[in-house]
Structure 1
Amino acid sequence: MTAPRKLTIGVLAIQGGFIEHSHALRQCDAVERVVEFTNAKEMAAQPLDGIVLPGGESSAMAVLLESFDLLEPLRAYVRAGKAVWGTCAGMILLSDSIKHAKLGGQSLVGGLHATTVRNAFGRQKESFIATLDVPDVVLADREKPFRAVFIRAPIIESVGDDVRVLARVVRPSAPPDAEPDIVAVRQDRILATSFHPELTRDIRFHEYFCRMVAGEV
């Protein structure tokens, strides 16, 4: 039996939590190499099986994407149906539309048929950790709860018909009868989470992304 091909995963490394993502990905058995890239030349230097857009400051990242000529290559990558995962700011960048954008708006990579609300959970001091209920097909070992870290996190307000909701959470400040907010989705080869799996020791979301890249899920 032929062994599965090992993956090369790119991580956008211009701002935010890219080091933590790289560390988590290197712990995944399916990954052979992690490539941190900061410009279009580095991104195109070798074939990337998937790309991670990390958390950070989405408006600052958008400016840097334009400065480093990365916006159009990333858009083309998504349009080509390649696997992409955005966490927090990365989720904002992947969304087709956003609310509470900075004055004057900001550039987006787009591709995810969703409207995302920036900083929906409040300021830095409103950061929190929540246990998520995630389908078995996404995370192995369902009996082990996934504790998600939310830092100035966005939420997804609405999704297209082709977007599957993977996880929801009720914000700590919400009234008892509040509806939970969407915090993780998948659309074909696009994965988006408003929280930061890279800030925990739980690599199950990274493993799921690798399975998605490999076409196993």
Structure 2
Amino acid sequence: MTLTIGVLALQGDVREHLGALESSGVQPIPVRRPAELEVVDGIVIPGGESTAMSRLLGVFDLYDPLVSRLRAGLPAYGSCAGMILLASKILDTRADARHLDALDITVRRNAFGRQTESFETNLQFAGITDDDGAEPMHAVFIRAPWVEETGPGVEVLATVESGPATGRVVAVRQENVLATSFHPEVTGDLRVHQFFIDMVATA
């Protein structure tokens, strides 16, 4: 049976995630309504603008249904703004911004700086690049967050290895929820999406 994985389609890198999922062999669907959320086996929350996305979750009556499904164990993957929305605590955000409280992490919004300070680097990613001969993951950071604190149930999958942000946590997993600070959907490297698909398949 082909998995159906939704991409929250309110704002951000929706098209890029849909394309990456389709290229990875699953059935992707954009999710804008509660009825669409009900039929997915997993959900991707894309990069974009986290405060705008939190507001639109309310406008489209998706906030409560999404929180409910996440609490019931729906697998989720968030990239960049998606990581922010999945977090339990957000630093440097608006007072009225809501989050989904699906990962026991504290994130700092726009931690790497403004758009002009976006950068690219290579990372080691646990479960992906630790196989013999595996290539490092080329990661693109665009106004990205980083993880300042992790709870006891959170596994750190990747950290920045060089530069002023050396040691900062940029990929985590807690049970069925995965998040990255960077944007694998823009590089053509499908390994993070496949990693998430494998999580959905075994959930």
What's the TM-score, normalizing by structure 1?
Answer: 0.89
1:42 aligned to 31, 36, 49, which one? 36
Structure 2 unaligned residues grouped into runs of 5+:
none
Structure 1 residue 193 corresponds to structure 2 residue 180: yes
Secondary structure at 1:214's aligned position in 2? helix
1:37 positional shift = 1.4
Kept in 2, the 8 Å contact 1:121–1:171? The answer is: no
CA offsets 1:177-213 (integer angstroms, 9 cap, x no match): x651000000000000010000011000000000010
1:25 aligned to 14, 21, 25, which one? 21
Structure 1 residue 65 corresponds to structure 2 residue 57: yes
Question: What residue in structure 1 maps to residue 171 of structure 2?
Answer: 184
* Alpha-carbon distance between aligned partners in 2 of 1:8 and 1:142, rounded to the nearest angstrom: 31
* 1:142-157 mapped onto 2 (5 Å cutoff): 142-157=133-148
The 1:154/1:171 distance shift into structure 2, 3 A limit, reads: farther
* Alpha-carbon distance between aligned partners in 1 of 2:22 and 2:169, rounded to the nearest angstrom: 28
Structure 1 residue 116 corresponds to structure 2 residue 123: no
Structure 1 unaligned residues grouped into runs of 5+:
none
Question: What residue in structure 1 maps to residue 81 of structure 2?
Answer: 89
Secondary structure at 2:192's aligned position in 1? helix
Secondary structure at 1:130's aligned position in 2? strand
Secondary structure at 2:7's aligned position in 1? strand
* Alpha-carbon distance between aligned partners in 1 of 2:35 and 2:21, rounded to the nearest angstrom: 22
CA offsets 1:10-68 (integer angstroms, 9 cap, x no match): 00011000100000000113x1x111011223323xx2110000000000000000111
Secondary structure at 2:170's aligned position in 1? strand
What's the TM-score, normalizing by structure 2?
Answer: 0.94
* Alpha-carbon distance between aligned partners in 2 of 1:113 and 1:142, rounded to the nearest angstrom: 33
* Alpha-carbon distance between aligned partners in 2 of 1:179 and 1:26, rounded to the nearest angstrom: 34
- Which structure would you say has the larger Rg? 1
Secondary structure at 1:108's aligned position in 2? coil
Secondary structure at 1:129's aligned position in 2? strand
RMSD after superposition: 1.6
* Alpha-carbon distance between aligned partners in 2 of 1:97 and 1:214, rounded to the nearest angstrom: 28
